[in-house]
Amino acid sequence: GDSVTQMEGPVTLSEEAFLTINCTYTATGYPSLFWYVQYPGEGLQLLLKATKADDKGSNKGFEATYRKETTSFHLEKGSVQVSDSAVYFCALTEWDMRFGAGTRLTVKP
Amino acid sequence: DAGVIQSPRHEVTEMGQEVTLRCKPISGHNSLFWYRQTMMRGLELLIYFNNNVPIDDSGMPEDRFSAKMPNASFSTLKIQPSEPRDSAVYFCASSSFKGGASDGANVLTFGAGSRLTVL
């Protein structure tokens, strides 16, 4: 079945560092891809999405490009802030919604 | 819109007791999902409903778990009897979901979660 595999955490970075969180997927058809973020004590929130190959989703300085040839949707940010500390989930939807295991990011001042 | 509303936010109970978690989805959304989150297993899809009908309950751990959606504005997840290993945060999410859609319509809106502790 459809599945998402994302980079194991935790990830610890200094403020203004470059962030990459890897995500690859397996799907039978043409899924939509998402990144969700979970701040402490809260539910998941949509961060960005892409619905077809070569689409780039972006929000709050984060970007991810839907790469069909490598079945990937890696999350990137050029300069992280302390407020970006959270757990990030890659997700795929086709017939339901499947999430990766989550990657905890801690940004230190 | 108040978003997806879950209750209770926190519940502490003793092993063997019945637990009922409640969810009110966003008005107009046609799909509702129940997830369980633990440190060990991450975020697991338990069951989802489309137009109040259960579509896939293969993630429900065992017969102790049951979920209902009697109408478009309410769903329950029940655990009877509860066990310590059921301790987790349970999330409800809703969506205007279209299976197989590639137009990005399948964005989930999550509730704040119900943290369950079974002693």
Q: What is the rounded average pLDDT of the residues A20-24?
A: 97
Closest in A30, A46, A50 to B107, CB measured = A46
Q: Beta partners for A76?
A: A20, A63
Residues of chain A contacting residue B48, judged by C-beta atoms under 8 Å apart = 96-97
Q: Do A43 and B110 touch (CB under 8 A)?
A: yes
Chain segment A31-66, per-residue pLDDT in tens: 899 999 999 888 999 999 998 899 999 999 999 999
User: In one letter, which amino acid is A79?
Assistant: S
Give the closest residue to A72 by CA, choosing from A10, A21, A17.
Answer: A21
Chain segment B61-114, per-residue pLDDT in tens: 889 999 999 999 999 999 999 999 999 999 999 998 766 555 555 789 999 999
Q: Any chain A CB within 8 A of the CB of B111?
A: yes
Q: Do B42 and A31 touch (CB under 8 A)?
A: no
Q: What is the pLDDT of residue B1?
A: 67
Chain segment B8-59, per-residue pLDDT in tens: 999 999 999 999 999 999 999 999 999 999 988 888 999 999 999 998 898 9
DSSP letter, residue B58: T
Q: Any chain B CB within 8 A of the CB of A34?
A: yes
